[in-house]
A and B are shown apart, each in its own frame.
Chain A
Amino acid sequence: MFEFLVQRAAISVVTLCVISMIVFTGVRMIPGDPARVMAGTDADATGLEAVREKYGLKDPIPLQYLRWAGLALRGDLGESIRTREAVVQTVVTKLPITIELAFLSLVVAVGIAIPAGVLAAVRRNTIWDVLTSGASLCGVSIPNFWLGIMLILFFSVRLSWLPASGFVPIWESPLANLQRMLMPAFVLGTALAAVLMRQTRNSMIEVMSADYIRTAYSKGLAGRVVVFRHAIRNGLIPVVTILGLQMGALISGAVVTEQIFVVPGFGRLIVEAVFTRDYPLVQGVVLITASSYVLINLLVDVSYSLLNPRIRIRSSAGDA
């Protein structure tokens, strides 16, 4: 297990180095003069030069990268050009918000998808299967922005039950926090649930037709026992993979939902930072997002081995 972890951790470090280089260079490839964006449309040539000088924009890109990477290794990701706030500080403020939203969305998604997927698989080719598959298709097809706006119009404007937008930290008011997170988590969660449900159904169908399940039935075990004790653990392995990937996507990619519900999370931060050519912020945020992505995948790898010990054994034997 230790060897397995070291191997995965080493791959993760290399991945992060490559990502940081790609991001650093990629940001500088975006068309448009960052100095012009930073200094404003009415800045004169002297003003533009001053900005280029101040942020080292005239140096060669490799030199700029080394300077940044050196500071990043010491935990200094620089400061936002727009607000002068430390990037680390900005991330520390935003990350818990995004993680909370991602977590709640996952709760919604898992809460809907796994029971529905299992039901569809166990009651295959019945009305339950048709209903859950139909619901899943709807979940995938409905765009986030439409669903979000509809929820706001119904629950906030018409019924005045929930605040239309915003964020209140959980330690300030758990109730206000939950009120504001319900709709965005639902929007993100339903889209994810649709994907998860289909994956759960397919995986469970495959598992339910395995020999050991037939054996379990032939031993006279009750259907519920067979499903919950024998089938579901194996059936969930591919689902956990999807969950891991989606969690990463939720952290970095909930842009539309964050925009609609005005949740001050990572998605909005990245988009705004790119549009304003706030290089240090883009670099810092992407590096942290990538790190969390890598970390989550590492955890997923570990969870495989917990769900199915054969994976761990194979890895130890060197054939994983």
Chain B
Amino acid sequence: MRKILWRLWPVVGALAALLLADTAHAQKKTLVVALNQDPDILDPTLARTYVGRIVFSQICEKLYEIDETLKIHPQLAADLPAITDGGRTVTIKLRAGVKFNDGTPMDAESVKLSLDRHRTLAGSNRASELAPVEAVEVVDPLTVRLRLRAPFSPLLAQLTDRAGMPLSPAALKKLGDKFGTAPVCVGPWQFAERVAQDRIVVERSPHYFAPAQAKFDKVVFRIIVDDNVRLANLRSGDIDVMHMVSPTDATAIKKEGKFELSSVTGLGYDGITINLRNKTGKLNPPGDLGTPLANDPRVREAFELSIDREALNQVAWDGLFTPGCTPIPPISIFFDKSRKCPTRDVARAKKLLADAGLAGGYSFELTIVNNPRQRRVGEVIQQMAREAGLNVTLRPQEFASALKDDDDGKLQAFLIGWSGRVDPDGNIHQNQTCKGSLNATLACDERVDALLNKAREVSDVNQRRGLYREAIDLFTARRNNIYIYHQNYIVAFPKSLKGYQAVPDGLIRIKGTSWN
């Protein structure tokens, strides 16, 4: 036995050495950010995932940027645009001396090339965002002019996202539709490496116009899907910044005292979409669904009155999200502070059901995406609705197939969210207009369309706010969407990381942050 133990010593020694040679903690010159999802293609024209925008925030700057208060200010543009010709001409002056990360200059020609690519490339996910733009013209080497078909107030907000990202013409020429495999834009960091579903590495750019803003040599984005695993990695020091902290974990992290938590109300919303007239698919003519939920507004009102938004937020999200009843988040200048959300009123809900001839109760199906978060919310809603006499059956379904069923008119009610846009138009128009591309409920009201179209044309904030107020009054009364809350983006990082600023779009911006 002793002999065996003696022989095992080298093995034990080697194992100990292995364990003690700790390389787990990232080098201080490298910042490791954990994302909860693998981004899709890193091509601003074709990209569509939210997490992809976090990577773009470091490597692809935009003509305009938003700040913590959602105020828009120039980033690669020199100033806010000059809007003339009744809103049909938008002239943008570009910042001088800016270079792409391959060292080529960013000028009006390259911006025109990028905007045209965003508008016209087959399969572009920016085409609809820039649809009102009829032509892009080069005025001089540092000025571009956008000609619009009609005035379009949300345009500036569109240019604060991927539609406003200039791409290197040299890289476009070299890579074509494979641009996303090695994207080259303007940014404090440049793309270095990607291992699908594992990591994306970006390195400090030698060409960035404000080099002092990039304090880290490298930023590594690691893809860690599971909330618990992301959290364990934060605690072990394997990652520095944890994106999308679950509210249920946030309280525990805070108590530990080692990490800073940043929470900001997002631009999107979560709510219940109720099918009103989509019988055979949203591209087909509407039909009569023949159900009280679809046909009787009193049943939908009873359902809304059964929900206690504040209690739901406390139970499902530890009170860390923001209850709401419109698609506009509180941070927006278009948010109507005077609006009061309906409070829970079970007695009135019961009365409405009785008036609708459903005093004995009413049953319907609520589809939820099959994940723990949605199940939690669904179960709370189910319990609340039961007290009002509504028997809600939860139908968990995989996300893609639920979307398809929603489009095909197979769902009665669907618990779903929207990640949100800077301008309220992006949260409302596609969902609430008669022909809106996301209006799967086929709810239609010409008055809503007129108000929302008008809000696109006018640029005065007060006037737009008024138009949105009127439109929201109309569509919240028909309740094809019952808005429940706005998600908060919660990010955790060590207390030694300084300079982190939370912006309501929830994107992590590394620029300007540093170790203390």
State the A residues within 8 Å of B (CB): 30-34, 36-37, 39-45, 47, 50-51, 54, 80, 82-85, 90, 93-94, 149, 152-153, 155-157, 160-167, 173, 175-176, 178-179, 182, 259-262, 264, 268-269, 272, 275-277
Best-surrounded residue of A83, A85, A173 (most CB of chain B within 10 A): A83
- Say yes or no for B338: interface residue by CB 8 A criterion: no
Q: Is the CB of A161 within 8 A of B20?
A: yes
Given contacts A161-B19, A165-B229, A275-B398, contact A84 B181 (CB under 8 A): yes
Question: Which chain B residues border A161 with CB–CB below 8 Å?
Answer: 19-20, 22
Q: Which of B22, B178, B197, B229 contacts A272 (CB 8 A)?
A: B197
Enumerate chain B residues within 8 angstroms of A157, measured Cβ to Cβ. Answer: 232, 235-236
Residue B359 at the A interface, CB < 8 A?
Answer: no
**A26: min CB distance to chain B, Å:** 15
Give the residue of A30, A90, A156, A176 whose beta carbon is less than 8 angstroms from that of B23: A176
| Residue B400, interface by CB 8 Å | yes
Show 9 A/B contacts (Cβ-Cβ < 8 Å), sorted by A: A36-B404, A39-B123, A50-B123, A83-B40, A90-B196, A149-B228, A164-B236, A175-B23, A264-B196
Q: Is B403 an interface residue (CB 8 A)?
A: yes
Given A40-B125, A42-B437, A165-B233, A259 and B225 contact (CB-CB distance below 8 Å): yes
B24/A162 in contact, CB under 8 A: yes
Query: How far, in Å, is B50 (CB) from chain A's closest CB?
Result: 10
* Residues from chain A with Cβ under 8 Å of B398 in the complex: 31-32, 275
- Interface residues on chain B, number (Cβ under 8 Å): 54
User: Are A33 and B407 closer than 8 Å at their CB atoms?
Assistant: yes
Docked CA distance A93–B181 (Å): 15
Chain B positions 141-200 with a Cβ under 8 Å from a chain A Cβ = 177-178, 180-181, 194-199
Given contacts A47-B127, A259-B229, contact A164 B122 (CB under 8 A): no
* For the complex of A and B, 5 pairs with smallest distance between CB atoms: A264-B198, A32-B400, A40-B48, A31-B401, A44-B437
Interchain CA distance A264-B222 in the complex, whole Å: 10
Minimum CB distance partner of B220 in chain A: A166
Contact of A43 among B24, B181, B226, B437 (CB under 8 A): B437
B196 pairs with A45, CB closer than 8 A: no
Q: Across the interface, do A36 and B235 meet the contact criterion of CB distance under 8 Å?
A: no
Chain B contacts to A: CB under 8 angstroms = 18-24, 38, 40-41, 43, 48-49, 122-123, 125, 127-128, 177-178, 180-181, 194-199, 222-226, 228-229, 232-233, 235-238, 283, 398-405, 407, 430, 437-438
Give the nearest-CB partner of B22 in chain A. Answer: A160
CB pair A41–B403 under 8 Å, yes or no, is yes
Shortest CB distance B367–A (Å): 13
In whole Å, how far is B4's beta carbon from the nearest beta carbon of chain A? 12
**A160 contacts B236, C-beta separation under 8 Å:** yes
Q: Point out the residue from B23, B43, B49, B233 that lies within 8 Å of A164, measured CB to CB.
A: B233
- A79, closest chain B residue (CB): B178
Q: A32-B400, A160-B22, A268-B225 are in contact. List 20 more A-B contacts (CB 8 A).
A: A32-B402, A33-B400, A36-B404, A41-B438, A50-B123, A54-B123, A82-B38, A82-B41, A84-B43, A161-B19, A161-B20, A163-B236, A165-B224, A165-B238, A166-B222, A179-B19, A259-B225, A259-B226, A262-B222, A276-B400
Q: Tell me if A80 and B196 are in contact (CB < 8 A).
A: yes
- State A45–B235 Cα separation when bound (angstroms): 45
Q: In whole Å, how far is B337's beta carbon from the nearest beta carbon of chain A?
A: 28
Complex Cα gap A126–B21 (Å) = 41
A261 to B403, CA, bound (A): 31
Q: Bound state CA distance, A43 and B438, in angstroms?
A: 8
Q: Which residues of A contact B181 (CB under 8 A)?
A: 83-85
Q: What is the CA–CA distance of A269 and B196 in the complex, to the nearest angstrom? A: 8
Q: How distant is B269 from chain A, measured CB to nearest CB, in Å?
A: 14
Cα–Cα distance between A33 and B405 once the two chains are bound (Å): 9
User: A51: which B residues are within 8 A, CB to CB?
Assistant: 123
Residue among B19, B49, B194, B400 with max Cβ neighbours from chain A (10 Å): B400
Number of A-B contacts (CB under 8 A): 165
CB distance from B174 to the nearest CB of A (A): 14
**Cα A36 to Cα B197 with chains together (Å):** 21
Residues of chain A with a CB closer than 8 A to B23's CB: 163, 173, 175-176, 179
In the complex, which of the residues B43, B222, B228, B404 contacts A33, with contact meaning CB atoms closer than 8 Å?
B404
Given B229, B232, B237, B283, which contacts A45 in the complex, CB threshold below 8 Å?
B283
Q: Which residue of B lies closest to A32 (CB)?
A: B400
Contact at B197–A32, with CB atoms within 8 Å?
A: no
**B residues less than 8 Å from A80 (CB atoms):** 196
Residue of A nearest to B232 (CB): A152
Taking CB atoms, residues of chain A closer than 8 Å to B404 are 31-33, 36
Which of B20, B222, B229, B438 has the most CB atoms of chain A within a 10 A radius of its CB? B229
Q: Is the CB of B197 within 8 A of A42?
A: no
A276 to B37, CA, bound (A): 11
A62 to B501, CA, bound (A): 53
Contact of B238 among A164, A260, A276 (CB under 8 A): A164
B222: chain A residues at CB < 8 Å are 165-166, 262
Q: Which residue of A lies closest to B37 (CB)?
A: A272
In the assembled complex, the CB of B49 is this many whole angstroms from the nearest CB of chain A, namely 8
In contact, B228 and A36 (Cβ under 8 angstroms)? no
Determine whether the beta carbon of B430 is less than 8 Å from that of A156.
Answer: no
Q: Are A179 and B18 in contact (CB under 8 A)?
A: yes
Nearest Cβ on chain B to A239's Cβ, whole angstroms: 24
- Shortest Cβ distance from residue B42 to the other chain A in the assembled complex, whole angstroms: 8
Please report the C-alpha to C-alpha distance between residue A108 and residue B400 in the assembled complex, in whole angstroms. Answer: 39
Complex: A30 Cα to B400 Cα, angstroms: 10
A156/B24 in contact, CB under 8 A: yes
Whether B180 and A83, one on each chain, are in contact in the complex, defined by CB atoms closer than 8 angstroms, is: yes
Taking CB atoms, residues of chain A closer than 8 Å to B229 are 149, 152, 164-165, 259-262
Is B196 a contact partner of A83 (Cβ separation < 8 A)?
yes
A163 to chain B: closest residue by CB:
B24
A153 in contact with B232 given A164-B238, A165-B224 (CB within 8 Å): yes
Give the CA-CA distance A139 to B433 in the complex, in Å: 58
- Residue among B195, B199, B223, B430 making CB contact with A42, cutoff 8 Å: B430
The residue among A33, A42, A160 with the most chain B CB atoms within 10 A of its own CB is A42
The answer on a CB contact under 8 Å between B128 and A264 is: no
Contact A156 B236 (CB under 8 A): yes
CB distance from A216 to the nearest CB of B (A): 26
Please name the residue on chain A nearest to B421 by beta carbon: A42
Complex interface: chain A residues within 8 A of B180 (CB): 83-84
A39–B24 CB distance below 8 A: no
Distance between Cα atoms of A277 and B398 in the complex (Å):
12
Residues of B within 8 A of A34 (CB): 400
* Residue picked from A41, A80, A85, A277, most chain B C-beta under 10 Å: A41
Q: Are A37 and B400 in contact (CB under 8 A)?
A: yes
**CA A149 to CA B228, docked complex, whole Å:** 8
